[in-house]
Structure 1
């Protein structure tokens, strides 16, 4: 297991992507191997997520910035599989954010909460077929949605109608005031 993990860690640094390109530049400028730079950066981030002020913001940035970047790249690519991967991530991220809203008042008191949350979000975005987004979507979100799809559609349609009617009334009032 440890050998497999080490091999994947080393293989990552042989890939060509934004992260490895930046690490290569840092390696050339500092003379420190990129594996050590990456390990140090990850260690500092982990310590900050445990002890740092603003760990919530950092955790949310990690869960948002890279996925947003990857989503834009997916939209611009001709491959639709990556679109599905990132749409699934955003659905799970949204469900998690709503659940967190109601439980955050209790959970943020746990010392390793933001480190755990960050690990969860990273697990949801890893580029493997067994990532957190796929597992949670197929085992929790999709079955719940399929079971309650008609009810959800009815609520969405009702709210859409109400919003449309409220907008029409608002514009009618604005036009009435404008014509006075």
Structure 2
């Protein structure tokens, strides 16, 4: 049982960076370099990096709380898998449905402040 647990821990340690960084990095480069450019694919990966940055920031701020949740890392891996898998386009979906309204509202407030009169 101990060897199985060690293998699982090693898999988790490798799966996180591969799933959250290496694959999205490679897919983002491919999306940028594709000709003709695929707008949907570019939107998916831009949304992914926005959400990944936001999640990383929240995770840093909430670290003392999250360390008490034993399944946090596994839940995060599953969530990131949903964001990354091209079939689901989770990042684009989440950005469109939840974040876009907040981002546009903040952008409007920022541009209103700095408009020349």
Query: Normalised by the size of structure 2, how large is the TM-score?
Result: 0.73
Match of 1:141 among 91, 99, 102: 99
- TM-superposed CA distance for 1:147, in Å, is 1.7
- TM-superposed CA distance for 1:142, in Å, is 0.2
Q: Which runs of 5+ in 2 are unaligned?
A: none
Contact 2:83 2:91 in 1 (8 A): yes
Which of the pair has the greater relative contact order for Cα pairs under 8 Å at 6+ separation? Answer: 2
- Quote the residue 1:176 is aligned against: none
- Quote the residue 1:151 is aligned against: 109
Matched, 1:126 2:85: yes
- TM-superposed CA distance for 1:83, in Å, is 1.7
The equivalences for 1:68-147 within 5 A come to 68-78=25-35, 79-81=37-39, 82-128=41-87, 130-147=88-105
Pick closer, same or farther for the CA change 1:84–1:135 going to 2, 3 Å: closer
Q: Which runs of 5+ in 1 are unaligned?
A: 1-42, 158-180
- Residues matched between the structures, number: 109
1:52-109 alpha-carbon deviations (Å, 9 max, x no partner) = 7xx4x75244201110011111111113232222111111111212222211221133
Query: Normalised by the size of structure 1, how large is the TM-score?
Result: 0.51
